[in-house]
Amino acid sequence: MALHAPVLVLKDSLKRESGTKVHHANIQAAKSMIELSRTQDEEVGDGTTSVIVLAGEMLHVAQAFIDKNYHPTVICRAYTKALDDALAVLDVDDRVAMLGLVKSSIGTKFTGQFGDLIADLAIDATTTAGVDLGQGIREVDIKKYIKVEKVPGGQLEDSKVLKGVMINKDVVAPGKMRRKIVNPRIILLDCPLEYKKGENQTNAELMKEEDWQVMLQMEEEYIENLCAQILKFKPDLVITEKGLSDLAIHYLGKAGVSAIRRLRKTDNRRIAKACGAVIVNRPEELQESDVGTGAGLFEVKKFGDEFFAFIVDCKDPKACTVLLRGASKDVLNEVERNLQDAMSVARNILKNPKLLPGGGATVLTVSATLKQKSSSVEGVEKWPYEAAALAFEAIPRTLLQNCGLNHANGENAWVGIDGSSGDIVDMKERKIWDSYSVKAQTFKTAIEAACMLLRIDDIVSGIKKKQAPGASSAPKQPQIEQEGDADNEQMIPE
């Protein structure tokens, strides 16, 4: 939030219910601000800090109007108008190489030193998993269909996007079953290939000794039957999410079929998307169309002391795995986080292929345009509108402070701040870009949240008022119940 606005810190040991209405309001306001960041992350995956900075600044400039007894509705109306105009300014169509944009998202992060590697991985992965929804819109589900597998060892440069899926499993009977199959026919199941046990404990009383044999025979026949239904379709690879009994392994192994058991549901879905198979719930219902034939190669490889199964070289995979290699787990985790950011940016561009200059350039342009427009706004809304225009400057101001500088002007729409050197340069030359959808989402979330909080009484005025000159010198503090050795926590004065 704004630099001079007070921040309330709560101790864990304090009782939440205690304190005054104002105390409550502050906590609720803080909670909803944190919620903004989370929403932004889920929606577009970038710009989480900008949202908080902008919303905080919007509230801060509103404080002056509330003190002058402006009604919150008036301020909110001005803010909404400013939001519409800001989004209109943003609508610049300028398609530039995607790589530049993804690179600028990770330029200042740890993996910036590896140049195009992470950006390339992100673009490959998202273009593979993209689904056309028609009308030029592409949807990419990063969580569901792009799996990042981190394998310690090797070099970061060995990381790659597989044209298919990799899973941390080996075939069930390594000695008997094939570990490399070219153009495999794959069947995916969601049911156990073992004899069904009773739901609760079942007692069977057998009168004759032969009956025991009959019972075992029935179990065997049941499993043989299941396997026969599967083998009818001549698969090379059977994968199930549930268990496989020894007997089923024997029948499948005898027919030269490789099998993998107890696979995660999410992995199973990814394999289905990659090789074009359909997950089947009952072997009786198998059809030829359910068999996946899109994969070019099934192979089991060993990394370190673990086995990984690869289903790769798929014809038109709609899911993929990003294989990350690196020196240690910490390095891999950091690279993965950067990759997630880069993939979010790549996804936003696929979804909405519009670019804007980064480094605060866009926000300054928006701010300057709104200032010009404020003169044409009539009535009492003019002042809050102008204040909203100024509030947009909080983002470049924060960027400058982070670089240790203190000047900027919004004359040229392409001039912004280079985050690594702090220089004020042309964003086009440095290839520092922002995605349209991130910026638009940031503005919407921040202004709508500020309006919501303004409409609630006692939040912006939740800052303790200064003492009137004639009043007693010891102001009454909100009472807070103690628990254990909690310090005397009180509201922070302005």
Q: Is 357 helix (H, G, I), strand (E, B) or coil?
A: strand
217 and 311 in a common domain: yes
Q: Is residue 392 part of a domain?
A: yes
Q: Residue 36: which CATH number?
A: 1.10.560.10
Q: Is residue 137 part of a domain?
A: no
- Amino acid code (one letter) for 166: M
377 and 309 in a common domain: no
Q: What is the model's pTM?
A: 0.65
371 and 244 in a common domain: no
Determine the Cα–Cα distance for residues 487 and 9; give it in Å rounded to an integer: 12
178 contacts: CB under 8 Å, gap ≥ 6: 171, 236, 256, 258
Final residue in a domain of this structure, among 288, 316, 344: 316
Q: How many CA atoms lie within 13 A of 393 on its CB side?
A: 16
Tens-digit pLDDT string for the chain (494 aa): 444 444 444 444 344 444 444 445 567 777 888 888 888 887 777 778 888 888 888 888 888 888 888 888 888 888 888 888 888 877 655 444 556 666 666 665 655 566 677 778 888 888 788 776 666 566 777 778 888 888 888 888 888 888 889 999 898 888 888 888 889 999 999 988 888 776 777 788 888 888 888 888 988 898 998 899 999 999 999 999 988 888 899 999 999 999 999 999 988 988 998 888 899 998 888 888 889 888 888 999 888 788 999 988 888 888 888 888 888 888 888 888 888 878 887 787 777 777 777 777 788 888 888 888 888 888 888 888 888 888 888 888 887 777 776 555 545 666 777 766 667 777 777 777 777 788 888 888 888 888 888 887 554 444 455 555 554 444 454 444 444 444 444 444 44
Q: Is residue 101 part of a domain?
A: no
Q: Is residue 143 part of a domain?
A: no
What's the pLDDT at 464? Answer: 52
Domain containing residue 403: 20-94+355-455
306 and 174 in a common domain: yes
168 and 312 in a common domain: yes
Beta strands in 157-233 (DSSP E): 160-162, 165-167, 180-182, 186-189
174 and 275 in a common domain: yes
309 and 368 in a common domain: no
Q: Is residue 141 part of a domain?
A: no
Q: Is residue 187 part of a domain?
A: yes
Q: Is residue 486 part of a domain?
A: no
C-alpha closest to that of 252 among 275, 272, 228, 268: 228
296 and 190 in a common domain: yes
279 and 184 in a common domain: yes
186 and 310 in a common domain: yes
What's the pLDDT at 374? Answer: 85
Q: Residue 243: which CATH number?
A: 3.50.7.10
Q: Is residue 231 part of a domain?
A: yes
83 and 170 in a common domain: no
**Domain count of the fold of the chain:** 2
192 and 66 in a common domain: no
Alpha helices in 352-475 (DSSP H): 361-374, 382-391, 394-403, 427-430, 436-455
